Amino acid sequence: MNAVASEEAGAAAVTLEELRKKMADFARERDWEQYHSPRNLLLALVGEVGELSEIFQWKGEVPKGLPGWEERETEHLGEELADVLLYLVRLSDMCGVDLGKAALHKIDLNARKYPAGPGCRPSKKGAHCSDDTGDRPDDCGDVVAAVHTNEIKKEHAS
């Protein structure tokens, strides 16, 4: 296996725990633990989200797969996505939150809130579930809501 293939195989198997340990080692080896308070890490995370946003700024709607993007742009995107993930992992660690477990729990909560099926699809008027709980995607602020909002925008655009 060559170096690139080896790196790709390693990347495919990466876990949140591995990232957590690497970030902890990275901070300890540089004596940066003193700076890694939850507040500082949160602000660093927000800064990285800003850097990620700059990549998409002024581009208009971007299709899936980023067709037409240059290699250096997608490489830069990967770096900024990684910055966001790494600060999120470190922030979770410094807050004593198991990010993987929390994420699985949130997906479960979202699945219960938005049961799968034809009764819970976005409509032209907005995304209302068949049980008509009154929950609207823009009231929720979670990942599932963002997906619904995008689907609604697509419906209105077509």
Nearer to Mg ion, 51 or 108 (CB): 51
**Alpha carbon distances (Å) from 35 to 40, 41, 89:** 7, 8, 15
> Binding-site residue total for Mg ion (CB under 5 A)?
4
Q: Is there a contact between 148 and 127 (Cβ–Cβ < 8 Å)? A: yes
Q: How many residues does the chain have?
A: 158
Give, as one character, the DSSP assignment of residue 126: -
CB of 4 to Mg ion, least distance (A): 23
CB of 108 to Mg ion, least distance (A): 31
The residue number with the shortest CB distance to Mg ion is 83
CB of 47 to Mg ion, least distance (A): 8
DSSP 73-102: HHHHHHHHHHHHHHHHHHHHHHTT--HHHH
Site for Mg ion in 2-31 (CB under 5 A): none
Window of 8-16, 53-61, 77-85, 131-139 that interacts with Mg ion by CB under 5 A? 77-85
Of 17, 51, 54, 131, which one interacts with Mg ion (CB under 5 A)?
A: 51
CB of 17 to Mg ion, least distance (A): 23
Window of 17-25, 43-51, 69-77, 88-96 that interacts with Mg ion by CB under 5 A? 43-51
Cα torsion 60, 64, 70, 72: sign:
positive
- Structure tokens that stand for 49 in this block: 């989200």
**Alpha carbon distances (Å) from 70 to 65, 73, 77, 102:** 12, 5, 11, 35
CB of 51 to Mg ion, least distance (A): 4
- Residue recorded with tokens 């709607």: 61
Of 38, 42, 83, 120, which one interacts with Mg ion (CB under 5 A)?
A: 83
Residues that bind Mg ion (CB under 5 A): 48, 51, 80, 83
